[in-house]
Amino acid sequence: MLSILILALIAAGNPLQVSLWVDRDDAIYHPGENLTIYFAANEGCYLALYNVEQGGGVSQLFPPEDDDGWIRGGQTYQLPPEYAEYDYAVSGPEGVETIIAVASRSRLPQLHDEGPDIVTEVIDIQIKEPEPAELIIVSAPRNCRIYITEVESGAKEYVGDTPRTIGLKPGEYLVEIKKAGYRTLRRTVSLQPGEKRKVHVRL
């Protein structure tokens, strides 16, 4: 009884604390970008990490199967681990997903567990579509045909004749300018969110 009382007094004087953060201070991500999650506790404890999706679906991120969820105090953990052969890629649509860490000194807690031995930490992940970029193409001679290929997907599209302003999602593109009787000009451009790029070409 005395030992139990001493342990209770120690726990009361040194509360369990959990820290949870991600690799961006503003926790804002665009669809397709990778996300890294970090967590730590001030002392050894059992910890479970959950992802609550926009539609209410829940997935357990930590611990992995056949792991009891015990983590060491003062040590920082990350997901995916450094040695992992996979990434956490953010997917759309726009909205908010929630990462929840639930910890206990005595047992591996479940998402909705409550009680004096349960500590919960929450972080919201904002998913936003990137601001479109704008590509302006001017050529000499005029009225050249413009073809744009998205490098990542390989999708190619005829978008009109020069001069022309084209709205594109951020990324890398191969731009082809063609006109009968002239050589075809090819140029690769990388566009950032909200960027306005003007390109002058002469065939």
Q: CB-side exposure of 87: number of CA atoms within 13 Å?
A: 7
Are 93 and 54 in contact by the 8 Å Cβ rule? The answer is: yes
H helices present in the chain, as ranges: 2-13
pLDDT for res 92: 77
Q: Is residue 8 part of a domain?
A: no
- Indicate if 74 and 152 belong to the same structural domain: no
pLDDT for res 12: 55
User: 94: helix, coil or strand?
Assistant: coil
- Indicate if 86 and 157 belong to the same structural domain: no
Q: Is residue 4 part of a domain?
A: no
Residue-range definition of the domain harbouring residue 70: 14-127
Radius of gyration of the chain measured on its C-alpha atoms: 26
pLDDT for res 14: 82
Count CB neighbours of 37 within 10 A: 21
160: phi then psi, degrees, rounded to nearest 5: 130, -170
- Indicate if 82 and 155 belong to the same structural domain: no
Amino acid sitting at position 16: L
Q: Is residue 176 part of a domain?
A: yes
- Indicate if 87 and 105 belong to the same structural domain: yes
- Indicate if 24 and 115 belong to the same structural domain: yes
Q: Is this prediction's pTM over 0.75?
A: no
Last residue of a domain, one of 104, 127, 150: 127
- Per-residue pLDDT of the chain in tens (203 residues, 90 and over written 9): 444 444 454 555 689 999 999 999 999 999 889 999 999 999 999 999 999 998 889 999 999 999 999 999 999 999 999 999 999 999 878 999 999 999 999 999 999 999 999 999 999 999 999 899 999 999 999 999 999 999 989 999 999 999 999 999 899 999 999 999 999 999 999 999 899 999 999 99
Amino acid sitting at position 55: G
pLDDT for res 110: 95
pLDDT for res 1: 46
Q: Are strands 171-178 and 185-191 parallel, antiparallel or unpaired?
A: antiparallel
Q: Is residue 6 part of a domain?
A: no
